[in-house]
Amino acid sequence: MHRHAMSELIKWKNEPGRKPLLLRGARQVGKTWLMKEFGRSHFKKTAYINFDENRSMEELFSGSLDISRIVAFLQIETGVVITPEDTLLIFDEVQEVPRALTSLKYFNENAPQYAIIAAGSMLGVALHQGTSFPVGKVEFLDLHPMSFTEFLEAIELERYADLLTNAELDIELINAFKSTYIDALRQYYYIGGMPEAVSAFVDRGDYSEVRAIQNRILSAYEQDFSKYAPNETVPRIRMLWNSIVPQLSRENRKFVYGHIREGARAREYELAMQWLLDCGLIHRVNRITKPGIPPMAYVDMSAFKLYMVDVGLMSAKADLDIKTVINGNSVFQEFKGALTEQYILQQLVSECNIRPFYWTAERATAEVDFVFMHDGNVYPLEVKAEENLKSKSLKQYHDKYSPEISIRTSMSDYRRESWLVNLPLYAICSIGAIVELH
């Protein structure tokens, strides 16, 4: 699980002048497991402290932030003799004690020999609210739900994952195994990448248990709204959160405030949206007016699409049953496009480290689902849920802007045409290699 994040942690461990690391991510994406597993596999000892409802930690950090004092107390608390050369310090749910966050500054400045990772589900909110935390004193790592290739590894299809991530892409072999990939992808649409849901499926293969876990996670998110958000903002957070799936289900997936409730205005919901973004529960994809470099310079801040943190949670929130997702039916066709876009967005962010945008022509005569920058070039990416290969919008974009290559992703096999590459949905992780080949 979380192969990509683990490799980043190993790089961090070996960095000269390493700073404390802040691990950010939504609740239940596997932060605690990852930190403990990293400690187990790469250090002799791990000193783990959970700050949630921990009175002794509140008292410790309310006093002097002298590092020798803190370390001495942590040794008593954890029963671990903390030696800098072979011990990993883990501060979990650190946002519950804001001065523990502040202490990372002093670890960095006065005791850089300690390897320390801090994490918290509400860390983005805590930092955004101005917790005393100096910029430049820590490094950040964002943890996302498991990607599709990590899911393949979890369900014991590791060699299939290796085929997709190998730098030397064997297109013919990937095409030859398409039925295996498509079956696994449809499972992933339902199960998603939340580690607890994936683990339950791997252990028992019970889709109803998976759905129960997903609903429990969604319920925990809603409880967090009341626990952590300002009281006056909570109703708007709930309304906006509940509006995401219906708005993605529309043919035009642009987010419209007026669809949250009649007469709603942007200024009423901006704080609610920022709160969900800070928690890592949603992704915002902005429209660009043209594919200039950098794309951020051409963002239309008033036009955007919102996606959820995980495709499996989106399936659960939409109350899709397993037969519908695996087999499909005519009623499902419209929503399948939204589910597929959610999946692609998730892989671009988590596996490809790509920040996507989208493009629409003037007077909305054409729309390209995603536009992204790679190695100084901007590329369009059109998403097709099945094998419908009409690409009028993509062709219009290509004719107007002449990108080096245009990309369509669908259930069809990999193939190259004069101006277009068709990339199978299950091979989206190789998009970087594809654009470099052309």
pLDDT tens for each residue of 45-57: 999 999 998 999 9
Q: Is the pLDDT of residue 218 over 70?
A: yes
Which position has the token pair 């909570």? 234
Encoded tokens for 182 = 């498509």
Chain segment 404-423, per-residue pLDDT in tens: 999 999 999 998 888 899 99
In which band, very low, low, confident or very high, does the pLDDT at 120 lie, cut at 50, 70 and 90? confident
Per-residue pLDDT, 170? 87
Segment (H or E) for 249: helix 234-249
Per-residue pLDDT, 211? 97
Alpha-carbon torsion, ordered 69, 71, 74, 75, to 10 deg? -110
| Amino acid identity at 29 | V
The whole-angstrom separation of Cα 82 and Cα 80 is 6
In which band, very low, low, confident or very high, does the pLDDT at 334 lie, cut at 50, 70 and 90? low
Per-residue pLDDT, 51? 95
The whole-angstrom separation of Cα 357 and Cα 98 is 34
Q: Which of 106-115, 277-286, 323-332, 343-352 has the lowest mean pLDDT?
A: 323-332
Q: How far is CA 95 from CA 5, 128, 137, 172, in A?
A: 21, 11, 17, 49
**Spatial contact of 334 and 253, defined as CB atoms under 8 Å apart:** no
The whole-angstrom separation of Cα 307 and Cα 292 is 24
Per-residue pLDDT, 133? 63
Q: Which of 127-131, 226-230, 233-237, 401-405 has the lowest mean pLDDT?
A: 127-131
In which band, very low, low, confident or very high, does the pLDDT at 130 lie, cut at 50, 70 and 90? low
| Amino acid identity at 412 | S
Chain segment 242-272, per-residue pLDDT in tens: 999 999 988 888 999 999 998 888 899 999 9
Per-residue pLDDT, 5? 93
> How does DSSP classify residue 410?
E
Segment (H or E) for 317: helix 311-317
**Spatial contact of 6 and 37, defined as CB atoms under 8 Å apart:** yes
Per-residue pLDDT, 343? 97
Q: Is the pLDDT of residue 6 over 50?
A: yes
Q: Is the pLDDT of residue 331 over 50?
A: no
Q: How far is CA 378 from CA 134, 303, 304, 373, in A?
A: 34, 19, 19, 4
Q: How far is CA 1 from CA 48, 93, 185, 260, in A?
A: 20, 21, 17, 36
Per-residue pLDDT, 328? 62
Residues 6+ apart with CB under 8 A from 202: 154, 155, 156
